[in-house]
Homo-oligomer: A and B are copies of this chain.
């Protein structure tokens, strides 16, 4: 049963992702029509610079007036691939008010204003889908909010930023330092000229907020996510990691507390065992590891960025939203009924790898061990290495709260025999 009146799609943005969405909509029109049950038609494309030649897109569809496009009233689905907060937020809200559903790839906006956008969608009985906002082509939002809808997710552990994974993988495999690996990533186009959003963990934090929200049926705002970049990871850290049978990844970690009464979300570099499935995620690939009560351990792996992979995710959502529209129904909206409190970083419990520069004389280890004990942080292993009057002490702890660890480190810094704290890194995935 094929309906002949086409569904009308407005495309906001025609850069790397948008142009690929338009291309696939044209070249795969028959497949899309068969899968949806009605043809889809590109009804308008809003761009900033209309003069740029856009292959395959009829000039009469191109407009600089995005607001007029979303308010036309005959648009079925608005695809937003502009990015950023404004004008994307106003355009999406206007789209709902004027009868359209929305497919978005905008992680920053979803992380910051997801609740308000979901409310606007629900008020107008429209869909808001955004599979492309987290980890590009990897199906994650749909599995978390649909496939695992009958399960209880306890932890999400993800490599959700390709740029930083490329850099860390390069450091791991070549022994390069951070700057050298970043330079290579930039030269190869894996890092932007200003890599701040990636290397400081802002991009990953937005994704962590979205994932935590869906996984725990709880609103998690960007501000709730603890964030630490990976610019201070050194070649020495990788050597320490190797000695422990680990590598280092920038992880987005969303966890339910042991008693189930609260959740946490954080982004920071961490050591993970080489035997963990995330350890072998190479280059710019992304992967997300999910632990749930009934399903156990799942992992989703694939390209986390790029025009084509992101377009694949956008089009999957487009098909779903179009199908819902033909059915006169909407898909799952925001699910925040659990409304669990988001605990601060100090309450996170994990293990730590601490590297100290200490005086090479008797009694130092006893002093250091006393400080750990006084703060209730139990030591798993200690490794001591002497070098010309100085020595280094590598301590790996058992599980302890971040607050206890912070207290321990502050006290260690005050010891005369501790010359410096060379590095502190969390150990995850065990």
* Partner-B contacts on A (CB < 8 A): 20, 24, 28, 31-32, 34-35, 131, 137-139, 142-143, 146-152, 217, 277, 280, 292-303, 306, 308-309, 311-320, 323-324, 327-330, 332, 335, 337-338
Selected contact of A303 from candidates B138, B295, B306, CB within 8 Å: B295
A303 touches B296 (CB 8 A): yes
Please, could you name 13 A-B residue pairs with CB atoms under 8 Å apart, sorted by A?
A24-B150, A35-B149, A139-B148, A149-B316, A150-B312, A277-B301, A293-B308, A293-B312, A294-B311, A295-B312, A295-B313, A296-B306, A300-B300
B34 touches A337 (CB 8 A): yes
Using Cβ atoms and an 8 Å threshold, which residues of chain B touch A306?
Answer: 296
Q: How far is the CB of A21 from chain B (nearest CB, A)?
A: 9
A28 touches B297 (CB 8 A): no
> How far apart sit A338 and B31, CA to CA, in the bound complex (Å)?
8
Q: How far is the CB of A305 from chain B (nearest CB, A)?
A: 11
B332 touches A137 (CB 8 A): no
Tell whether A313 pairs with B32 under 8 Å between CB atoms, given A298-B138, A301-B277.
Answer: no
A28, A149, A303, most chain B CB atoms within 10 A = A149
Using Cβ atoms and an 8 Å threshold, which residues of chain B touch A314?
Answer: 150
Q: How far is the CB of A39 from chain B (nearest CB, A)?
A: 13
Selected contact of A20 from candidates B294, B303, B329, CB within 8 Å: B294
B323 touches A332 (CB 8 A): yes
Tell whether A296 pairs with B302 under 8 Å between CB atoms, given A147-B139, A150-B312.
Answer: yes
Tell whether A148 pairs with B335 under 8 Å between CB atoms, given A142-B143, A217-B34.
Answer: no
A296 touches B137 (CB 8 A): yes
Using Cβ atoms and an 8 Å threshold, which residues of chain B touch A320?
Answer: 146, 149
A143 touches B139 (CB 8 A): yes
Tell whether A149 pairs with B319 under 8 Å between CB atoms, given A139-B139, A280-B277, A327-B329.
Answer: yes
Q: How far is the CB of A58 from chain B (nearest CB, A)?
A: 21
B35 touches A316 (CB 8 A): no
Q: How far is the CB of A192 from chain B (nearest CB, A)?
A: 21
A137 touches B319 (CB 8 A): no
> How far apart sit A4 and B300, CA to CA, in the bound complex (Å)?
36
> How far apart sit A255 and B185, CA to CA, in the bound complex (Å)?
34
Tell whether A150 pairs with B308 under 8 Å between CB atoms, given A294-B20, A301-B277.
Answer: no
> How far apart sit A31 and B148, CA to CA, in the bound complex (Å)?
12
Q: Which residue of B is nearest A147, CB measured? A: B139
> How far apart sit A312 and B313, CA to CA, in the bound complex (Å)?
24
A151 touches B315 (CB 8 A): yes
Selected contact of A146 from candidates B28, B32, B142, B151, CB within 8 Å: B142
Using Cβ atoms and an 8 Å threshold, which residues of chain B touch A300?
Answer: 298-301
> How far apart sit A323 and B318, CA to CA, in the bound complex (Å)?
20
Selected contact of A148 from candidates B277, B312, B324, B327, CB within 8 Å: B312
B149 touches A28 (CB 8 A): no
Tell whether A294 pairs with B146 under 8 Å between CB atoms, given A280-B280, A316-B151.
Answer: no
A34 touches B335 (CB 8 A): yes
Q: Which residue of B is nearest A35, CB measured? A: B149
Q: How far is the CB of A203 from chain B (nearest CB, A)?
A: 20
Q: How far is the CB of A25 from chain B (nearest CB, A)?
A: 8
> How far apart sit A299 and B297, CA to CA, in the bound complex (Å)?
14
Using Cβ atoms and an 8 Å threshold, which residues of chain B touch A301?
Answer: 277, 298-301
B137 touches A295 (CB 8 A): yes
Q: Which residue of B is nearest A40, CB measured? A: B150
Using Cβ atoms and an 8 Å threshold, which residues of chain B touch A330?
Answer: 327
A315 touches B137 (CB 8 A): no
> How far apart sit A20 and B306, CA to CA, in the bound complex (Å)?
41
Q: How far is the CB of A418 from chain B (nearest CB, A)?
A: 40
Q: Which residue of B is nearest A141, CB measured? A: B147
